[in-house]
Chain A
């Protein structure tokens, strides 16, 4: 029987949740035996070729590329998991939801005390993904099957969830593994 396939990605996140996944220590050898990694920053594969059993999403959506990647994952993954506070509620990037986007850009590229931008030009290269009006958590964009909050979720939390998903049992976290920080 083919190994179950896992895909992971970091959208508007800081890669902290991926660091937490690496933090499962020697269990990562067990994980490598149990699953095949599809698209992931770990192997740098860019597109999911076939179908994946599990998709782990770190980060919410702050730009149009995040939305496209998230939809790509939803299309190709049987079970989609929001990993970390950014994916489940927007996290630190969502602090900009309290400020209009134009003000954020003006502060970052024109008015900020350390800004050096003699051309007074906002980034507008067509290669750059367009920013969304605000930061969206994953379940505001696509249907999400499981949520693992935490900043980041601890290695034990991620391990407990991934093992339960691979075994086809419901993800139930013991008290100490459910954290919002």
Chain B
């Protein structure tokens, strides 16, 4: 087995398969690197930067960077954890995240990362942007207030569902999720069973009439932090 790539994460030796990224090799070895826009099975995107690690002293996103032989990767170190926490705080103040009545609360990956990092309140100013809610679809809704532009729905729709429901429009602070229809989500071929719906890490793309189906205390992140051994993502059950 000479073609494996040997490298270390926080001093632990790993052997990556050729073609794997650092986050894929870490997942295979049971080492958690925090992430938001990364989803196994989708092409790497590298937009959220929450998975930033240090490779031979340089910051890289673990979801896009393949390991090199002998590479020294730092992951669970205080300054990187602080940087990741600040990125999550920025996402909280950039949108309008009302966890107290969000249907995704308790199973939201953004919120779960805030819990994992121990964020009590963002230190940055809230932006309170004007965002829209698209309720046009009979079974689905898009709440742009909660969208973190991770592109998981965009990529899942294209790469898994074989559709092309979502796209981004605009740039910089004006960038937002759009649907491939003249008017609204109802004009697309989006369906409640699409993998793209389940791919949303936050409460931006939701099925209607689900509501608060799982009571508090029994939701995915109520007892165990995201990425801990007890946390099993939906669809990942053995």
Residues of B within 8 A of A178 (CB): 115, 118, 120
For the A-B complex, the count of residue pairs with Cβ-Cβ distances under 8 Å equals: 64
Residues of B within 8 A of A180 (CB): 99-100, 105, 111, 114-115
**Interface-side segment among A66-74, A84-92, A121-129:** A84-92
Residues of A within 8 A of B201 (CB): none
The residues in B between 167 and 220 inclusive whose CB is less than 8 angstroms from any CB of A are 216
The residues in A between 139 and 176 inclusive whose CB is less than 8 angstroms from any CB of B are 139-140, 146-149, 151, 173, 175-176
CB-based nearest A residue for B224: A175
Residues of A within 8 A of B101 (CB): 92, 181
CB-based nearest B residue for A146: B120
Residues of B within 8 A of A173 (CB): 118
Asked if A95 lies at the interface with its beta carbon under 8 angstroms from chain B, I say yes
Whether B126 pairs with A90 at a CB distance below 8 angstroms is yes
CB-based nearest A residue for B145: A98
Asked if B238 lies at the interface with its beta carbon under 8 angstroms from chain A, I say no
Asked if B34 lies at the interface with its beta carbon under 8 angstroms from chain A, I say no
CA of A140 to CA of B222, assembled, Å: 29
Whether A175 pairs with B121 at a CB distance below 8 angstroms is no
Whether A92 pairs with B98 at a CB distance below 8 angstroms is yes
Known: A91-B100, A151-B100, A180-B100. A98 touches B130 (CB 8 A): yes
Residues of A within 8 A of B111 (CB): 180
Of residues B96, B98, B102, B111, which shows the largest number of chain A Cβ atoms within 10 Å of its Cβ? B98
Tell me, rounded to whole Å, the shortest Cβ–Cβ distance linking A97 to chain B: 4
Asked if A76 lies at the interface with its beta carbon under 8 angstroms from chain B, I say no
CB-based nearest A residue for B116: A175
Tell me, rounded to whole Å, the shortest Cβ–Cβ distance linking B23 to chain A: 23
Residues of A within 8 A of B145 (CB): 98
CB-based nearest A residue for B128: A97
CA of A178 to CA of B223, assembled, Å: 11
CA of A116 to CA of B126, assembled, Å: 35
Tell me, rounded to whole Å, the shortest Cβ–Cβ distance linking B175 to chain A: 19
The residues in B between 131 and 175 inclusive whose CB is less than 8 angstroms from any CB of A are 131, 145
Asked if A82 lies at the interface with its beta carbon under 8 angstroms from chain B, I say yes
CB-based nearest B residue for A87: B121
CB-based nearest A residue for B106: A181
Whether B120 pairs with A148 at a CB distance below 8 angstroms is yes
Interface residues of B (CB under 8 A from A): 92, 96, 98-102, 105-106, 111, 114-115, 118, 120-122, 125-126, 128, 130-131, 145, 216, 222-225
A-B contact pairs, 29 of them (CB 8 A): A85-B100, A88-B120, A88-B121, A89-B92, A89-B121, A89-B122, A89-B126, A90-B126, A94-B126, A94-B128, A98-B128, A98-B130, A98-B131, A98-B145, A147-B121, A148-B120, A149-B120, A149-B121, A151-B100, A175-B115, A176-B222, A178-B118, A179-B115, A180-B99, A180-B100, A181-B101, A181-B102, A181-B106, A181-B216
Interface residues of A (CB under 8 A from B): 82, 85, 88-92, 94-95, 97-98, 134, 137, 139-140, 146-149, 151, 173, 175-176, 178-181
